[in-house]
Structure 1
Amino acid sequence: MQASLLGFVSIGALAAGVHYVVALLAHALGWQPANANWLGFLLAFPVSYIGHRWWSFRGTLANHRQAFPRFFAVALLGFFANQLLLWLALTYTPLPFWLVLGVVMVLVAISTWLLSRFWAFHHG
Structure 2
Amino acid sequence: MPNADRLLRYGVSGGLSALTHFGVGLAGTRVLPPVPASSAGFAASVVVSYLLQHSWVFRSGTGHRVAAPRFLAVTAAAFTLNAAVLWLGADVIGGPYPAVQAVALVLIPLLNYAINSRWTFTGVRPDPSPTAPTPSPSPPGD
TM over 0.5: yes
Conserved in 1, the CA contact under 8 Å of 2:25 and 2:34? no
CA distance in 2, matches of 1:106, 1:20: 19
Quote the residue 1:53 is aligned against: 54
Identity %: 31
Please give the root-mean-square deviation of Cα atoms over the aligned residues, in Å.
2.0
* Equivalent residue letter for 1:56: V
Alpha-carbon distance in structure 2 between the residues aligned to 1:111 and 1:28: 34
- Change in CA separation of 1:113 and 1:55 when aligned onto 2, cut-off 3 Å: same
Q: Which has the larger radius of gyration?
A: 2
After superposition, residues 1-124 of structure 1 pair within 5 angstroms as: 1=2, 2-26=4-28, 31=33, 33=35, 35-58=36-59, 60-123=60-123
Q: How many residues align?
A: 121
Q: Shift in Å at residue 40 of structure 1?
A: 2.4
Deviates more, 1:38-47 or 1:106-115: 38-47
TM-score by length of 2: 0.73
Structure 2: give runs of 5+ residues left out of the alignment. Answer: 124-142
Deviation at 1:102, TM superposition (A): 1.1
Write out the 4+ residue segments of structure 1 that deviate beyond 4 Å after TM superposition.
24-30
Higher relative contact order (CA 8 A, sep 6+): 1
Q: TM-score, normalised by structure 1?
A: 0.82
